[in-house]
């Protein structure tokens, strides 16, 4: 690609060099720059890559994109833009050929439910016969088609693993729910080459704040809900208003939006949304889902179901939309009806049949989300990503639908995150589990003792509310805590392990140590001769 082709949709000031120069890659990390790259200089909190332009020229980059007036190396093409963070995703989209424009795109945002909704939507698409990719918390997942990606810059550095929950697909691990713009566009280009016609992307509020998906107009956008106190802090959002605004930005990046009108913050959220709901005489582009009378797609008649043979709970409900539907989802919990409603709405809009929708939603398996990693006639073990009070409460209430004689909750709260998460997780587990085993999560740069002191406040609050002693243990080592729960399992136990879900590491003092709750729980069962 020539520089002039890369820049055709960008506003910039030409500084030096030739626009006929070839660009063979795109990068914003000076450690990873390669000859022929277009390099975007970013001013960060700790590092400023403008300081490395001479070194970058020596590496042979073809183009420097800067936002400051700085001395430039001779012989290297350079442009200046007003904000390189804003320019970066637009350049990435152009470099990879705007792959999102060649697929049906669905973006999902919200405090809770993003991963579940993403996988529900992808499973419906796959059941309808569409090659589908996903980008989100569980990685970048795309069909294994036999094509190679050596001609897609950056793809040669990515390593795929088999995607166990989606047979015939490969998974690439991501460092963020929504990776940086260059990775997003690279994976989209890989999906397009693999023949994907549909893609579902989890979009975090941080991803919107940092412009990681700028340059993409999503076909559909879904907003699930929003929680106060979550993702508010020095390293995330300064306050709830900013958090809310960033969530709404994703809907405004979509041609058609679906919003949970039953959420307590729905009115505030909608005040930030620019899509028309039809009340202004313009074409309707915003649709509401929920159980209230103002919902365009309305769920009703929710029933909890239980299959005695498989010992598997689920939910059944009806839905008003363009047609009447009866839906079954093989996951428990009212919140999973809310997760399913926008998925069904979009499927209906695309003409996917009720039969296909039910086929997909009745056979869900999502790694690290209500993931039953072991069960026999004696007890079961579940792994889930619940990592705050809201999700812990919902998760434990839903697990009661498995009809356990005893509910055992192994959980850890994270360091360097909102302390409210710790209070609330401690309180939720103490109130709803028969036995709580408190252990470490991602301590990050805090000690377990600091985190435990906050969890203890939540446990004490629950104990005061129950007016009776709460049954709990403290086992700081996570593997020891999991092993204890499994070794001491009683007849009819449901053991749930919360906080890490699908993740394959545990972080302490800035170091990520290999660990998987899923794999370790199975290992313990294997050691006991149960697998």
Structure confidence at residue 266 (pLDDT): 95
Tell the burial category of 265 from Cβ atoms under 10 Å away from its Cβ (0-12, 13-18, 19+).
Answer: middle
pLDDT in tens, 177-195: 888 999 999 999 999 999 9
Residues near 208 by beta carbon (within 8 Å), at least 6 away in sequence? 109, 246, 247, 249, 250, 253
> Tokens 């007016």 appear where?
467
Query: Encoding tokens for residue 146?
Result: 């036999």
Mean pLDDT, all residues of the chain: 93
Q: Running DSSP on this structure, what letter comes out for residue 457?
A: H
Q: Which of 438, 427, 424 is nearest to 462 (CA)?
A: 427
Mean pLDDT of 152-176: 88
Contact predicate 23/1, CB 8 Å? yes
Does the domain made of 371-527 have the CATH classification 3.30.390.50?
no
Per-residue pLDDT for 86 more than 70? yes
Q: Which of 519, 522, 447, 507 is nearest to 175 (CA)?
A: 507
3-class secondary structure, 278: coil
Give the side-chain half-sphere CA count within 13 A for 204.
Answer: 20
The Cα–Cα gap between 493 and 76 comes to: 66
Query: Encoding tokens for residue 60?
Result: 């042979």
Binned at pLDDT 50, 70 and 90, residue 210 comes out as: confident
Structure confidence at residue 240 (pLDDT): 80
Structure confidence at residue 306 (pLDDT): 85
Contact predicate 248/273, CB 8 Å? yes
Q: What are phi and psi of 210, to 5 degrees?
A: -95, 15
The Cα–Cα gap between 464 and 428 comes to: 13
Domain layout of the chain by residue ranges = 3-95, 99-290, 371-527
Angle at 212 between CA 211 and CA 213, to 5 degrees: 95
The Cα–Cα gap between 132 and 122 comes to: 6
pLDDT in tens, 302-338: 999 987 777 789 999 999 988 899 999 999 999 999 9
Structure confidence at residue 310 (pLDDT): 72
Q: How many CB atoms lie within 10 A of CB 278?
A: 12
Binned at pLDDT 50, 70 and 90, residue 232 comes out as: low
CATH architecture of 3-95: 3-Layer(aba) Sandwich (3.40)
Query: Encoding tokens for residue 394?
Result: 């919902």
Does the domain made of 99-290 have the CATH classification 3.40.1190.10?
yes
Q: Running DSSP on this structure, what letter comes out for residue 191?
A: H
> Tokens 């709901």 appear where?
277
């Amino acid at each position: 690609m020539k520089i002039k082709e890369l820049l055709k949709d960008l506003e910039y000031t030409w500084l030096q060099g030739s626009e006929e120069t070839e660009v063979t890659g795109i990068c914003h990390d000076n450690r990873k720059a390669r000859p022929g790259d277009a390099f975007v200089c970013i001013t960060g909190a700790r590092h400023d890559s403008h300081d490395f332009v001479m070194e970058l020229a020596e590496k042979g980059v073809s183009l420097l994109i800067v936002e400051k007036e700085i001395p430039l190396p001779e012989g290297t093409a350079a442009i200046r833009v007003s904000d390189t963070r804003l320019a970066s995703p637009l350049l990435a989209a152009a470099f990879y050929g705007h792959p999102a424009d060649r697929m049906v795109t669905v973006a999902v945002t919200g405090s809770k439910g993003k991963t579940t909704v993403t996988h529900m939507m992808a499973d419906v698409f796959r059941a309808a016969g569409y090659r589908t990719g996903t980008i989100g918390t569980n990685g970048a997942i795309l069909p294994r088609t036999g094509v190679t990606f050596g001609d897609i810059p950056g793809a040669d550095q990515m390593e795929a693993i088999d995607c166990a929950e989606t047979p015939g697909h490969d998974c690439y691990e991501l460092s963020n729910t929504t990776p940086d713009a260059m990775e997003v566009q690279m994976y989209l280009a890989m999906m397009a080459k693999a023949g994907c016609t549909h893609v579902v992307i989890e979009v975090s509020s941080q991803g919107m704040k940092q412009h990681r998906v700028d340059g993409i107009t999503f076909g559909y956008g879904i907003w699930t809900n929003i929680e106060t106190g979550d993702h508010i802090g020095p390293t995330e959002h300064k306050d709830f208003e900013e958090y809310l605004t960033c969530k709404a930005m994703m809907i405004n990046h979509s041609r058609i939006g679906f919003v949970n009108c039953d959420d307590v913050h729905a009115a505030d959220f909608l005040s930030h949304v620019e899509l028309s709901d039809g009340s202004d005489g313009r074409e309707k582009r915003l649709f509401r889902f929920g159980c209230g009378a103002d919902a365009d797609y309305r769920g009703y008649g929710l029933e909890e179901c239980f299959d005695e043979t498989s010992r598997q709970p689920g939910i059944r409900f009806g839905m008003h939309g363009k047609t009447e539907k009866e839906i079954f989802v093989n996951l428990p919990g009212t919140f999973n009806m809310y997760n399913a409603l926008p998925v069904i709405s979009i499927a209906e809009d695309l003409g996917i049949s009720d039969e296909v929708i039910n086929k997909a939603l009745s056979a869900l398996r999502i790694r690290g989300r209500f993931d039953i990693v072991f069960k026999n006639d004696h007890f079961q073990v579940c792994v889930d990503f619940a990592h705050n009070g809201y999700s812990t409460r919902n998760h434990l209430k839903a697990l009661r639908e498995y009809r356990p004689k005893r509910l055992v909750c192994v959980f850890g709260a994270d360091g360097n995150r909102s302390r409210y998460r710790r209070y609330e997780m401690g309180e939720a587990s103490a109130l709803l589990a028969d036995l709580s085993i408190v252990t470490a999560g991602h301590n990050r740069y805090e000690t377990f003792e600091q985190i435990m002191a906050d969890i203890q406040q939540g446990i004490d609050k629950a104990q005061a509310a129950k007016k009776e002693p709460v049954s709990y243990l403290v086992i700081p080592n996570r593997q020891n805590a999991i092993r204890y729960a499994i070794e001491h399992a009683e007849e009819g136990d449901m053991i749930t392990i919360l906080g890490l879900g699908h993740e394959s590491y545990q972080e302490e003092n800035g170091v990520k140590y290999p660990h998987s709750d899923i794999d370790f729980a199975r290992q313990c069962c294997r050691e006991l001769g149960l697998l």
